[in-house]
Chain A
């Protein structure tokens, strides 16, 4: 059995090319089935074909047809252990644009489950999923946010803990502001109010996010009813001043200002119980967490290397499996022939006892050679051991 990989990713192909070969799950699994024993992993950043005993030239040509141009100079081709290592790194998020991003593991799982792979691909994908999970469990690579919008939500959680039931006021319709609001909502926060310069704009936002529509003039009156304020308007002047913030509050207020120029008066940060993060602060937090991800990536690489070594050992052990199977079959054949000679000479009870005893002798006798051959297979001597066993026991004809 041979393992091969043909593919392209953000490392080697521009988005214009990648988007042409990006396939939906159905199309990807259809392509995999056309190629034989294969799995097709296709995301916005990569399209890769993992093949067992299949022609990688044919796979490359198939990708070229989808792209509408030959991919010889662009696509990468990897074989055997290198292909497995690559898949493990992909599943661990180490080959991603943002190291440690978690979405890729689900995509690897979907690609694997969309087809019915043979034993080699089944093994390498199951191990890849385990590697991805292990890296996320044993390192902190995926813990910190990698975008401004997710950092904003993570910071709000540093103040409030669980965001369920926390009320959010979204001001303006900036894209990052909407993403931040979406991130807060995904953590359980409620978008209570949406505000815009015009009533129509506010209503349009309210339809998208489900909160009550406000105009900017109504903001100060509603601040006492919310926990988080996300602002991303294109207003040239601040839309909220420190004087607008209610003085007597028991709960903290968290402000996220993603607008440039800034929407929120910087003096708000000095108010007791108020926390204000602007776009520069958020970007600094993201840069810091990304550097943390990179240091965790080193640990993750070690884990991936360990798993790749385990896969290599497993592959090597397969070289001696036929010899072990022949040896066991040969021994079993001898045992059966000798037992046949007892027919009619012993009682049923005696026969059962003899069968049990001979089976145990056989197992004990073959246990050590089996273990030793598997151990030798992990090194470079597997084939030599297998040949020696075949020669010594006269198994050549069985192969």
Chain B
């Protein structure tokens, strides 16, 4: 039953992924994001109710939760017309990841979960929330690089196809990272505690996540500006992608 909710969610995200392409349809796109996100929230709620515990500890389930977090973070400023192109960057990605999550079985209301450990919930929740923030920061950084390039090249259509100002993109990306890094820190601490409870050795994904932490920690410590800041945010996101892919390798096993 819960799986039925996948369809309104994917329809909303799909509509938004295309409707953000033009100014005229961007309002409809924002509604698509809102309705899709509400449907996905209901889906997650139904999954949680069915499992009776934390149902997103598989790679596909965590991807489902990750998409929800990314879209939720985007919604914070997704309603602004000036950030239409951010929607165009975020929503197709969310759509694809959501479909992948479904193919991997992450949207099913599966068997009752036995993974009710508090530290697992905190670990997965915080790390995915941080990754969602880094994804958004990378999208903002990508927009920054594009806008900066257009300004440098003195594109004649710069005022017709308007992006947010460079200063706003830079500020928002930095703030998003500043919020996300503490979440990643908490997620890592929760993961370490859980690992000590269960025993076991450090795996490659953990090393990768620590590396991601170092990159974003360096971002906040060095406080780079302009193009350098944008490149660093994108580099950090590359590590997030690799970490997400490595998750499929059995980190939760």
Annotate A144-171 by CB proximity to B: 1 below 8 A, 0 otherwise.
1100000100110111110000000000
Provide the main secondary structure of the chain B interface.
Answer: helix
Q: Answer whether residue B151 sits at the interface, using C-beta atoms and an 8 A cutoff.
A: yes
Verify B152–A269 contact, CB threshold 8 A.
Answer: yes
B246 nearest CB across to chain A (Å): 35
| Contact stretch, chosen from B38-46, B164-172, B181-189 | B164-172
> What separation, in Å, do the CA atoms of A357 and B242 have in the docked complex?
80
Interface residues of A in 270-309 (CB under 8 A from B): 272-273, 275-277, 281, 284-285, 287-289, 292
Verify B159–A289 contact, CB threshold 8 A.
Answer: yes
Q: Answer whether residue B226 sits at the interface, using C-beta atoms and an 8 A cutoff.
A: yes
Q: Answer whether residue A252 sits at the interface, using C-beta atoms and an 8 A cutoff.
A: yes
- Neighbour of B159 across the interface among A158, A161, A252, A272, CB < 8 A: A158
Q: Which residues of B contact A159 (CB under 8 A)?
A: 151, 165-167
Q: Which residues of A contact B168 (CB under 8 A)?
A: 161
Given contacts A140-B23, A250-B225, contact A275 B160 (CB under 8 A): no
> What separation, in Å, do the CA atoms of A157 and B156 have in the docked complex?
16
- Please count how many residues in chain B sit with their CB below 8 Å of the partner chain's CB atoms: 20
Verify B160–A281 contact, CB threshold 8 A.
Answer: no
Q: Answer whether residue B147 sits at the interface, using C-beta atoms and an 8 A cutoff.
A: yes
Q: Which residues of B contact A366 (CB under 8 A)?
A: none
Size category, A interface: 20 to 34
Q: Answer whether residue B158 sits at the interface, using C-beta atoms and an 8 A cutoff.
A: yes
Residue among B159, B160, B166 with the most chain A CB within 10 A? B159
Residue among A158, A276, A289, A292 with the most chain B CB within 10 A? A158
In the complex, residue of chain A having the shortest beta-carbon distance to the beta carbon of B166: A159
Verify B227–A272 contact, CB threshold 8 A.
Answer: yes
> What separation, in Å, do the CA atoms of A159 and B160 have in the docked complex?
15
Q: Answer whether residue A251 sits at the interface, using C-beta atoms and an 8 A cutoff.
A: yes
> What separation, in Å, do the CA atoms of A287 and B168 have in the docked complex?
27
Verify B160–A157 contact, CB threshold 8 A.
Answer: no
Verify A144–B159 contact, CB threshold 8 A.
Answer: yes
Q: Which residues of B contact A251 (CB under 8 A)?
A: 225
Q: What residues make up the interface of B, taking CB atoms closer than 8 Å to A?
A: 23, 147, 151-152, 154, 156-160, 162-168, 225-227
A-B contact pairs, 28 of them (CB 8 A): A140-B23, A144-B159, A144-B160, A151-B159, A154-B159, A155-B158, A158-B147, A158-B151, A158-B159, A158-B163, A158-B165, A158-B166, A159-B151, A159-B167, A161-B164, A161-B165, A161-B166, A161-B168, A250-B225, A251-B225, A252-B166, A252-B226, A269-B152, A272-B227, A275-B152, A281-B156, A288-B157, A288-B159
For the complex of A and B, the 10 pairs showing the least CB-CB separation, nearest first, are A161-B165, A284-B156, A288-B156, A281-B154, A161-B167, A292-B160, A161-B168, A250-B225, A275-B151, A160-B167
Q: What residues make up the interface of A, taking CB atoms closer than 8 Å to B?
A: 140, 144-145, 151, 154-155, 157-161, 250-252, 269, 272-273, 275-277, 281, 284-285, 287-289, 292
Beyond A158-B165, A251-B225, list 6 extra A-B contacts (CB 8 Å): A145-B159, A158-B163, A281-B154, A281-B156, A284-B156, A287-B156
